[in-house]
Structure 1
């Protein structure tokens, strides 16, 4: 290992490593981009020493599903139903984005993730009609300093006369070839490549199979939505399983509409699931499938989903997911026995796992990310537990998941570099970029309003 040494002293370490657990009054040494040592006392004369007394250090959080390109439209979709969202976002607002809009939205969204304690972002980018849009999004991620998997997607506009609809169009092979041969050729860089495909819920069988085979050809993680509107290929999951195309490089977002037999078959094939609890509960997808997965011995990763509706705080997402699943379990127990369960059905430590080690597992990166373990990447979050909202700390895991918020995130390290220190992002010029973001959002929303007015005038 090369590079500088940073020594975190006297911290409470919530390692999320099954062998280590929680370690009080511990030191953690970072050497280069990796965790080099964990012990109750480490002496390293050449290291930069960081006093972490009164702090809780956790692994970097992993946001497993976010449409970061919508950051400039925050609040715009707050009261939309799911059909309104598809009509006004994908067939409307998305069509007004230029590369510069994608760039500033992705940059600002990624910086917000860092500010909230996320070190790895799965950026599900499905508004990239040109290579320039794609490159602008990737540049935004790289400029932010976040670790990211850029999930290359495809737009969903209404077809123009003579055009084939998006659900009949295979994923653009030329773009995957270009990205894999160019900037996103490696798997160890901070920004890597995945595929955000339509899948059987949103495309024909022919498109689904072609997209799965393209992802397998390039050994890329493929992620797809499964919820919302009626599926376009209802038997697609069974056909994929029969063809041997379901595997650990398959990620399903939501999954609320899957039948029990389908879900079991997918879990047995190694498919991962990313739940977005707030979005699913409010937009009509249904209750998250966390309990159904747990019954099959599986665990989800979590995402915050829509920047145009929800905040990006992953601790908040874990809190919502935990509350929803405990509520479902409590109601089921009442219906079955007339009484509540003897104790909580889901431990709070499991909720923290959903946004750390389970996110890493979804990415196939559990050997590098998701826990404070010697040899893993130095992705970590320092939570200031001295505030009035967190004192006293009796259970560090519970304090982090159920009490902490973005304001308690004191520092964030990604690959051994500080992306946030002393409650301030390391990125210079944040205010100037936020002004660009606001101007972008206002322009795009203004175009949608203008289009709506023209349509109303034409109707009369």
Structure 2
């Protein structure tokens, strides 16, 4: 609610009266310049954490000016990125998604203006789905994206039927090597936990189709656990022969650092698999799956990510002739010394303080723990000023209604809840609060 409705859309739907709003600013609380600085800071922040490439699914293309500002922020960062073109809040000025054969608006305009070369750091993705590109369109969203050279990147939370329907539509083809589905949770056929490798808990028509057609899965392990998406489907991906990439998904909700993501994947798969060894936890005697290794988790963070973003021919491995996206890790830091196993130390012991240098396309962008060519104090000042501008607009006059209390803020005017608990919104209202002792 806070991110999608208040900060992004600038309006809160009325759950009692569909199509109406409890509160509506009449605009998004942020301007294109706020999107620009957000994209820029997010990219540079992730570089300092040792992430050389990402996919931006901003859902903020309210008007063409917003899309342009976000793309410029990605390009100015010097980071390798996929701009996954998505819709925003359409108040009559959105150009999403565009149309087939039309290079003047939507994805066609963006492809022509910013993505007319494959030899650039920022490339084009498209969030259009495998159904009609828009109401009444005779072609699918996947077809529209492919027409303009975009890779397909969709967020799929529990949408197993979307995959089945996509395969049933011949317009979507059978080569899905350009398709990435993020999350892929709750795709199992049966009402059972996805914890084993048996026919009951692993059976999934959606996963079978997706694997056979060469699709890529990106799993946001720690976000899926935190945001109640469903159990991260690491085991389902492995059972169907897919090495998933790892996604932070929502940077404002959870860290984007690769060590947290790798440890999350490593530990959740092992926790579920290891628990099956104990008869008290496994009364139906389900077979315990193989445990993933640290090296496989590193490959999720590198090779699988490059493949999902369609740049494995350029980056993802240390191979002569590739473009040298390299993260140099400090093995002499006291938190891993003395190092005895590199892969094990990276996944189970290291954190962002071990990131010493980062190169993107052979250019040093982070050296000895410092961003190269950027004034970080100024960046922090600019992003903080952007936050304050947004807050002023949220607290300003609204077109409709007033902002209800309790939306992450216990005060009026609305402001960040700096010192209170951040975890009460979204709690299970049917269960009692914990009464705990140390």
User: Normalising by structure 2, what TM-score?
Assistant: 0.75
Q: 1:107 to 1:86 in 2, by over 3 A?
A: closer
- The aligned counterpart of 1:236 is 162
After superposition, residues 293-332 of structure 1 pair within 5 angstroms as: 293-332=237-276
User: What is the Cα deviation at residue 355 of structure 1?
Assistant: 0.7
Q: 1:205 to 1:179 in 2, by over 3 A?
A: closer
**Distance in 2 (alpha carbons) for counterparts of 1:337 and 1:206:** 51
User: What is the Cα deviation at residue 446 of structure 1?
Assistant: 3.8
Secondary structure of the residue aligned to 2:38 is: helix
- Given the alignment of the two structures, is residue 97 of structure 1 paired with residue 41 of structure 2, yes or no? no
After superposition, residues 235-254 of structure 1 pair within 5 angstroms as: 235-244=161-170, 245=172, 247-254=176-183
After superposition, residues 9-28 of structure 1 pair within 5 angstroms as: none
Choose from 125, 129, 134 the match for 1:194.
125
Choose from 257, 261, 271 the match for 2:186.
257
User: What is the Cα deviation at residue 430 of structure 1?
Assistant: 2.2
User: What is the Cα deviation at residue 172 of structure 1?
Assistant: 2.5
**Distance in 2 (alpha carbons) for counterparts of 1:386 and 1:458:** 52
- The aligned counterpart of 2:149 is 219
User: What is the Cα deviation at residue 237 of structure 1?
Assistant: 2.4
- The aligned counterpart of 2:377 is 431
User: What is the Cα deviation at residue 344 of structure 1?
Assistant: 6.9
User: What is the Cα deviation at residue 380 of structure 1?
Assistant: 0.4
**Distance in 2 (alpha carbons) for counterparts of 1:442 and 1:428:** 22
- The aligned counterpart of 2:53 is 120
**Distance in 2 (alpha carbons) for counterparts of 1:438 and 1:313:** 21
CA RMSD of aligned residues (A): 3.1
**Distance in 1 (alpha carbons) for counterparts of 2:219 and 2:403:** 41
Deviations 1:352-394 (A, max 9, x none): 1111000111122222211111111111011111111111101
Contact 1:378 1:415 in 2 (8 A): yes
Contact 1:110 1:146 in 2 (8 A): yes
User: Normalising by structure 1, what TM-score?
Assistant: 0.72
**Distance in 2 (alpha carbons) for counterparts of 1:371 and 1:145:** 20
Higher relative contact order (CA 8 A, sep 6+): 1
User: What is the Cα deviation at residue 87 of structure 1?
Assistant: 3.5
User: What is the Cα deviation at residue 340 of structure 1?
Assistant: 12
**Distance in 1 (alpha carbons) for counterparts of 2:298 and 2:53:** 15
Q: 1:420 to 1:447 in 2, by over 3 A?
A: same
Structure with the higher helix share, 1 or 2: 1
Deviations 1:287-328 (A, max 9, x none): 111100101111111111112111221221111121111112
Deviations 1:394-444 (A, max 9, x none): 101111122221111110011111001111110322211221100111221
- Given the alignment of the two structures, is residue 153 of structure 1 paired with residue 86 of structure 2, yes or no? yes
Deviations 1:174-232 (A, max 9, x none): 221112222211112111111123566x998867953111012223211111117xx6x
Secondary structure of the residue aligned to 1:305 is: coil
